[in-house]
Structure 1
């Protein structure tokens, strides 16, 4: 995959730009709007506004893409993070800055470049006809579903191509000397032979006897470690289209009507399986000779029809089917060129056609099998149709139900029971913390940041009122009522004393380990001893054998001119490791192809770094304002 991206950087930049630039529909997402102020804009670039609608459209695209990737099982709460929101906002700002720069530099793209780029988009592969052209009607329909005309999409692609030229020009100018690539290769391939000696804090813990005063001092200065989070015990009710669907039973009349309305979905068109012999006509002056040859073959087949497959293998000029005796497999109407298709669908099984001329040449066709059109009966698709109808009707009812649910929760503010009874919902109980726990919850809605913020509002806690109905996903609302509240508190010292003692003991043992390790290191540097060390281990930067980055860094910093060398590193848990670097293994010969590839990778990396620096300078020169209240500065 990385090779594909590296080899198709231009296409990938364009596709990313097409995906990032918003505009596929202006759909608000209520659950994310708390990120912005009450204005209609989220940011401004050199006086040009980036609207909340643009942001919401981009957010909707990202969520839809995630649902497609993960089969619809997306926990909205898990992706509603400040990091994601900042990434989306930054992408919009960067696209606007790049568009302004492309306009300033008068960059554009030719009609041919726009057409070529559109034809390379993978999603359009399904719209290709058998002759390789794009089905114009389906193409228009696809764009219409995205709220665009072909002209608007062309303009978007043209703008993306113009923007891509900025990155292309910078990255194409980046160079990496062969000497740098060779030096990097030597460093990456170098192997060092070393031994390891490890000192563990547990070996020194028996020597540690922390005093009561030391324990209390640690407790007083690390109280956050012993704090219980603020929690609330709640009753809650969830209204969703899925819940509504459970109470819906479509009638037989509705099922029959839906079946008839979608009859094409349950129909399989007539298909034929055919073989052919093709005598190609690559040039106009070959038509007559090709026809003569085809007529001779046809005459021979009339006498010996059983020789069709053998003749196809020997005489057919279609490289795709000749080896299979001319077999083209099954195909339905619309899958072959028109003259070929019309002739094939008129033939009976084992019947051989006359000469059929197409743009490819002269065909002799033999139909081997026919699959008649079939329609799956209602009884066979009833369960699927029933499920689809229930979902469809539930979605239609949800909008009105959501308004009623929200009103009841607000009007009957002291209880969720009226709203639950109205929609046959189950009122459940749970304990939630103000800050959502990192572990996944069985009910994703309970970890939604907007929902938790509503639960811990002062009006909800002090007034004992219902929360508002909070949107936590597509067609899903949740409301809660707090029955008990427990503020955050620090556990008493006596309660956590044992845990404090363990922490202080480990810290003091780690300090003893460090001192002992430093003394041992100093002694070894004098004696050059190998006593207590492990057997020799061969190590390279690429093959770190589970060592930490700190250990690898220390080992490769050892002066190769003065071996053996002793170096140390403090590992996780206060472990003190000493390494005896003994020798360097001979470097393998570097293949020219690998050196060239590494030089190209270095050039790409240099180009990317230069592009990042250029983008940063563009942003610094642009007047950017962010109207965000969370995790963003008021302006830049």
Structure 2
């Protein structure tokens, strides 16, 4: 049998078959047959090779394409960040249902796609950002400024306070990438301009006056007609997406609250030791209110210049030491110190060690009101006057005992809190599939939440950090305890998902009443719209006044109204100005739904604004606004054009 197998596999046919089998292994490797790849992208941007722009995205040519994925986790992080920002900005007006809509989620993903496209465009065009541009951008950050100027210490402190901490190099790399990706679109936006003709036309439109008559239609009677089973089923099938139960989770959790952790008793010895360790905190050093007159001497000055400066300093010192001398006036007239000259030479209160050696030694050897000098430092010659002496003060132990006790108790409580949190984490990691053993071991209560959605719930479920963890893929799939989540200072919680229900359609039997109510509301809406359409048709034929009179309705007139006047409502006013101008003396008639009520209106006359009354400042402001709007349109057009160069695939099921 083995000989027959050898004979069958040694001919030219077998060679051809073997060659065909080698091809896929040569292109794609054995690993593609031995492993399974699971895609986890929210969006995939595909780009054909630069040398074959029209390459089809079909196997095996698709392997020549370049793919740039936006990971689902990156999308989720952006989604939660936007959710948190909107919740903070809108407060009670935040609408969780609207935020979870497909349209809103797609809008957030589109922003991520656009950012990736701009990054690809910058790389394609070889854009490079210099170190100087990065530094200048960072220096303009208001958060890094003190009194309007960049402060390096504040810069380092704010970066270190991030979670996780960020090094200056990492932050600068992020700024560099941001500047590189924004350079082309922002340059396009800034290049926009507006002509005088465009500006004049817009001003005439914005300042336009209109005469309008309108009729507010009364609400139609509630629909009480029969709703058949067929109608109910048809409505439900057409609106299934509106009758869904949102995704929910239920948690068990163990919380460590530092305020409930008892602090250890503090004895007198510990208090006295703490007092001695922090004696400097409760003591103020001696300070002196000092003024000076400076005669500068350059380091490379000639001997003659040095002698002249010394002679001038001695002369000024003699004048300053005179009984009737006005030291401040002498400083304003003669001092070379630009910083203190205008203030009469005042340096304010200084502490020991705050000035150059010889100056410092002299100032702290003088009496109040005394003048000495000249004193030589690296800056030149100084004539020094001590105005007042502020003696050192030390607060006694009894005065600060309560502060010391509070500090020690807080430190003790903090150590106990950290120790308890560490023990809880260790215990939870030993039995990650349940928090009950860890809670019992440490004497902490095991608590549970009611089921809640991604919009949040009561208690800890209202915290954004808890929501991010609770709905993370790891927590939903593994059912294990989370890492510690910091809810606030000395308040930490560990959570575990004990129940998860995916989003699902609600059965018709459960939402039948809601469907019937929706059908009747739709009938009522259509009846109201039909009444408005009938009045519009009659008004176009015989005029609004006659049509309204026949219907037993009253017409209200608004004359000489301008844009932005919210009468009779903002929606109605906007419709009045969106309506085309009347032609050949014929009023322009239409309807608008405003505040749940239909309004039928007729625009009788339109008058342009008198642009001769517009000031140059108003023209300049409007020109800048129009240029910004045109620039944004051009920027969006550039992004749309960039999108056309790629194939973008969105994983709708992962949004």
TM-score band by shorter chain is 0.5 to 0.7
What is the aligned counterpart of 1:448 among 440, 445, 467?
467
Residues 519 and 80 of structure 1: is their aligned pair in 2 closer, same or farther, counting only changes over 3 Å?
closer
Question: Residue 216 of structure 2 aligns with which residue?
Answer: 198
Instruction: Select which of 319, 322, 329 maps to 1:303.
Output: 322
Q: How far apart, in 1, do the equivalents of 2:352 and 2:76 lie?
A: 39
Verify the 8 A CA contact 1:127 1:139 in the aligned structure 2: no
- Determine helix, strand or coil for the equivalent of 2:390: strand
Whether the 8 Å contact between 2:207 and 2:562 is mirrored in structure 1 is yes
Looking at structure 2, the residues matched to 347 and 55 of structure 1 have their Cα atoms a distance apart, in angstroms, of: 67
Q: Deviations over 1:555-604 (max 9, x none)?
A: 34241665673533222324234254445375351222332333233333
Are 2:499 and 1:476 equivalent residues in the alignment? no
2:253 corresponds in structure 1 to: 238
Name the CA shift for 1:181/1:232 in 2 (closer, same or farther; >3 Å).
Answer: closer
Matched, 1:421 2:436: no
Secondary structure at the counterpart of residue 570 of structure 1: strand
* TM-score between both structures, scaled by the size of structure 1: 0.64
Structure-2 change in CA distance of 1:471 and 1:159 (3 Å) = closer
8 A Cα contact 1:564 1:580, kept in partner:
no
2:433 pairs, out of 404, 410, 421, with 410
Inter-partner Cα distance in structure 2 for 1:106 and 1:420: 57
Trace 1:330-345 onto structure 2 (pairs within 5 A).
Answer: none
Q: Which residues in structure 2 correspond to 1:316-465 (within 5 Å)?
A: 349-352=368-371, 354=373, 364=384, 366-368=386-388, 370=390, 372=392, 377=400, 379-383=402-406, 386-387=409-410, 390-391=413-414, 393-395=416-418, 397-405=420-428, 407-408=430-431, 410=433, 418-428=437-447, 431-432=450-451, 435-436=453-454, 441-444=458-461, 448=467, 451=470
Return 299-308 or 287-296, whichever deviates more.
287-296
Deviations 1:239-274 (A, max 9, x none): 23x436633535648987996899599567648463
Identify the residue that residue 24 of structure 1 maps to in structure 2.
none
2:536 is paired with a residue whose SS is helix
Aligned counterpart, 1:22? none
Distance 1:188 1:377, change over 3 A: same
Measure the CA separation in 2 of the matches of 1:60 and 1:332.
53
CA offsets 1:491-535 (integer angstroms, 9 cap, x no match) = 679977995797367436524542453255336627589983335
Give the deviation of 1:380 after TM superposition: 1.0
| Alignment deviations for residues 92-144 of structure 1 (CA, whole Å, 9 cap, x no partner) | 7666654554454343344544444444444444599xxx89768x9778767
Which residue number in structure 1 is paired with residue 3 of structure 2?
A: none
SS in structure 1 of the partner of residue 561 of structure 2:
strand
Deviates more, 1:603-612 or 1:82-91: 82-91
Structure 2 counterpart of 1:12 = none
Q: CA RMSD in A?
A: 6.1
Q: What is the distance in 1 between the residues matched to 2:70 and 2:544?
A: 69
**Alpha-carbon distance change, 500 to 403 in structure 1, aligned in 2, over 3 angstroms:** same
SS at match of 2:654: coil
> Would the aligned equivalents of 1:301 and 1:308 in 2 still touch at CA under 8 Å?
yes
CA contact (8 A) 2:292 2:384 kept: yes
Shift in Å at residue 476 of structure 1? 2.7
| TM-score under structure 2 length normalisation | 0.63
> What CA distance in whole angstroms lies between the structure 2 residues aligned with 1:537 and 1:290?
83
Cα separation, partners in 2 of 1:537 and 1:45, compared to 1, 3 Å? same
The answer (yes or no) to whether the contact 2:79–2:105 under 8 Å persists in 1 is no
For the 8 Å contact 1:108–1:159, the answer to whether it is kept is no
Where 1:274 maps in the other structure, the secondary structure is strand
Counterpart in the other structure of 1:599: 623
Shift of 1:177: 1.6
How far apart are 1:440 and its partner, in Å? 5.9
Structure 2 gap segments, 5+ residues each: 1-36, 48-65, 487-491
Secondary structure, in 3 states, of the residue corresponding to 1:108?
A: coil
Q: Note if contact 1:196-1:577 (Cα within 8 Å) is conserved in structure 2.
A: yes
2:289 to 247, 258, 274: 274
Distance 1:542 1:500, change over 3 A: closer
1:135-214 matched pairs, under 5 angstroms = 160-201=178-219, 204-205=220-221, 210-213=224-227
In structure 1, what is the Cα distance between the partners aligned to 2:215 and 2:545?
15
SS at match of 2:556: coil
Where do residues 553-572 of structure 1 align in structure 2 (5 Å cutoff)? 553-559=575-581, 565-567=587-589, 568-572=591-595
Cα shift readout 1:374-430 (whole Å, capped 9, x = no counterpart): 68946315435644653465346435513523654625xxxx754543343445565
Distance 1:164 1:269 in 2: 52
Cα gap change, 1:323 to 1:216, in 2 (>3 Å): farther
Instruction: Tell me, yes or no, if the aligned pair for 2:292 and 2:346 is still in contact at 8 Å.
Output: no
Larger radius of gyration: 2
Counterpart position of 2:31: none
Distance 2:424 2:450 in 1: 27
Q: Is the 8 A contact 2:194 2:623 kept in 1?
A: yes
CA distance in 2, matches of 1:354, 1:79: 77
Contact 2:569–2:594 under 8 Å retained in 1 = no
Unaligned runs of 5+ in 1: 1-35, 460-465, 632-636
CA distance in 2, matches of 1:143, 1:539: 54
Q: Contact between 1:109 and 1:162, CA under 8 Å: does it hold in 2?
A: yes
Structure 1 position 611 matched with structure 2 position 635:
yes
> Alpha carbons of 1:430 and 1:143: their partners in 2 closer, same or farther (altered >3 Å)?
closer
Aligned pairs for 1:222-261 within 5 A? 229=245, 237-240=252-255, 242-243=256-257, 246-247=260-261, 249-250=263-264, 252=266
| Counterpart among 536, 543, 564 of residue 518 in structure 1 | 536
* Distance (Å, rounded) in 2 between the aligned partners of 1:333 and 1:623: 70
